[in-house]
Chains A and B, each alone.
Chain A
Amino acid sequence: MSRSERNEPNDSKPYKWEMVIDLDRCTGCEACVVACRAENNIRISGEEEAAQGRAINWIRIERYWEGDYPNVKAKFMPVLCQHCSNAPCEPVCPVYASYHTPDGLNAQVYNRCIGVRYCGNNCPYTARQFNWFDPQWDEPLQEQLNPDLTVRMNGIMEKCTFCVQRIRRGKETAEQEGRRVKDGEVTPACVQSCPTSALVFGDRNDPTSRVAKMARSDRRFHLLEELGTEPAITYLKRLT
């Protein structure tokens, strides 16, 4: 498929999907984690596997404590795949299962993955997750699987896709109507469910989009910026 067929609305720049996370607004409620799980058919790991550190979360809330008792403050930081422009996970995959889409997403081709797990090692954010066993859902949870995407089998890597199924649908609709995707038209499950709107998603190539405006904030920073991975996720520093 050529680049123009797939991505670029007529005579305009391609999309560049990015996210802004305002740490000042994050309450650590984990609604995003739950929504992501429901949207993306993430397998349910159970207590034992979670204790082994194997629970699959495409987005996690890292909790750090600051200060000494009794003046302790909990600080939260949602971490998900950073969809790096210069992604360390991509060149190391021996079979091209991990690759870069023309609109700037790090994609994982489940059918191609053979599970060497080099991408998992080389991701400095530990955003990549592995299917240690075949997935299972307790009755009646299997009834709520999302038909828009697959379930993943034992032995392969998976990770946040920015809800690519929603992006694709949004792009198709826009294309039929002969326009660009409007700002806010496509939202990943985590962004949609965030009660404080700490997460904002959109097209960075559209200078008027919310994500583009917020990413220019003075509070902006990138996670492990010194590694030069050029993440698509901009964090806004917490001031309070």
Chain B
Amino acid sequence: MAPTQTPWEQIPQINRELLAPLQATTWRYLALVGVLACLVAAGAGAWIYQIETGIGQTNLHPPVFWAAYIASFVYWIGVSHSGTFISGVLRLSKAEWRRPVTRIAELMTIISVMIAALCVFFHLGRVWRWYYLIPYPNQREIWPNFRSPLMWDATAIFTYATASAIFLYLPLIPDFALARDRVTGWRRPLYVALSLGWRGSQTQWRVLRRAQRIITPLIVMVMVSVHSIVGWDFGMALVPGWHTSIIAPYFVVGAVHSGLGMVVIGLYVLRRVYHLEAYIRLEHFDKMGKLLVVTTLTLAYLYFADQLTVWYGKVPAENHVMYSMLTGPFAQAWWTMLVMIYVLPLLTLTWPAFRRWPLGMMVVGLLINLGMYIERMLILVPPLTHPRLTYEWSTYFPSWIELTILGGAMAMAILLYVLAVKFVPVISIWEEKEGRLHGREEG
């Protein structure tokens, strides 16, 4: 983009460039979709096999009744916090640099919430009876048990999924209208329906802005509550190592940590594939890096506070769990996790030049996500393998079926994202234009 152009002159080019991914498809794209679809099919096959034969296909056994599926559930809910955090908090704080990042993050939110919900279904012993969790009127007048944290959880996830779908959809309306006017073929009627008759009148803009002003603070609150409740699935239990009051804030910050990492990965990949260098600039990586420093430090602080209390208290049951990670069978995983989510991010991201190196940022994002996945497993496995009655001590590693199903779920998340990119402009076009035209006055 020539710097001499005025913002008004840039608009046709912005429209063209940001709608381009919707209009052209390369063979490489199709190949990627094919590969991902195969992986999803493998996962689906493994899941059907597990349903047909039994949860015994996992490596679960008493006392480890929850493991990889629930860890993945927590992980994906965590990733889903990317969208709401970046988009919600940055919109609230009117951070000008949010504009090219919000849509990318919001798409991640909705997709990863769906994958997280799927993980719950992988986990259920009798998944064909899942509807017992819904409070539907029935002749026997049996209702779900709202004293159970799992019911709080189901309610929270449902609320979150609904709210974040609306949150994603609202700012999409003007962009759908833009696409409607430029797309031909079978997709046109779809965009006509989705743009809800948007004409860009003053009234419509006013209504849209008001709706956004209402939902943005709400979604930030829902985000905090959702992951607190996910934390309370554990915190409410008697299991040594879970029963701690710090678990809710720890989960929320951990979720944002992995979510931000995932957004950095998304920024890097989309920028490279669709040549969005003019929109996703080094400044954005820099800002994301700074946010990651904040979450790294906060998370480290919360984790330290928790572990220090356990270490000093020396309550035997909790101590056993802690030492199984410090020096015991989980030491390797634990120390790797520490390096991946605290040490390396802190060493790299506090260095300004590093934050402006997209590839490096992407690698750190990957490390954080891998590390946070290990961390989720470490929340589940060491406490469950070390119950108070030492006779029942045990160990766990996921089975091939578990890994295949979860790999399939991961492939499905990527596949959904890849498909969504063909259908939804990954950068909010009207907000980008708004930023160029009025950004300085508003920001």
Q: Using a CB–CB distance below 8 Å, which chain A residues touch chain B?
A: 49, 52-54, 62-64, 79, 88, 91-96, 112-118, 120-122, 124-126, 128-134, 153-157, 223-224, 227
Contacts and interface: CB of A to CB of B under 8 A. Distances in A.
B56 interface: yes
8 shortest A-B CB distances, which residue pairs?
A115-B125, A132-B56, A155-B125, A117-B65, A120-B65, A133-B54, A155-B126, A53-B61
Interface residues of B, number: 42
Contact of B148 (A91, A121, A132): A91
A64 B391 contact: yes
A53 B238 CA distance: 22
B147 A91 contact: yes
Contacts of B60: 130, 132
Interface of B: 53-56, 59-63, 65-66, 123-127, 129-130, 132-133, 142-145, 147-151, 154, 233, 236-239, 384, 387-389, 391-392, 394
Given A53-B61, A91-B148, A155 B55 contact: yes
7 contacts: A112-B142, A115-B55, A116-B150, A122-B238, A126-B62, A128-B62, A223-B389
B12 to A, nearest CB: 54
Contacts of B148: 91-94, 118
Nearest to A95: B132
A78 to B, nearest CB: 12
A201 to B, nearest CB: 22
Given A114-B124, A155-B126, A94 B133 contact: yes
Given A117-B125, A120-B63, A121-B384, A126 B389 contact: yes
Given A94-B133, A126-B389, A113 B147 contact: no
Contacts of B145: 91, 93-96
A92 B389 contact: no
A88 B236 CA distance: 10
A94 B384 contact: no
Contacts of B66: 117-118, 121
B392 A92 contact: no
Given A52-B59, A53-B61, A126-B62, 4 more contacts: A53-B394, A63-B391, A116-B150, A154-B53
Contacts of B62: 53-54, 120, 126, 128-130
A124 B56 contact: no
B239 A156 contact: no
Query: Which of A91, A93, A117 is most buried by chain B, counting CB atoms within 10 A of its CB?
Result: A117
A121 B384 CA distance: 7
A121 B54 contact: no
Given A95-B145, A115-B126, A124 B54 contact: no
Nearest to A155: B125
Contacts of A62: 389, 391
Contacts of A112: 132, 142
B130 A114 contact: yes
A209 B366 CA distance: 65
Nearest to A96: B145
A114 B129 contact: yes
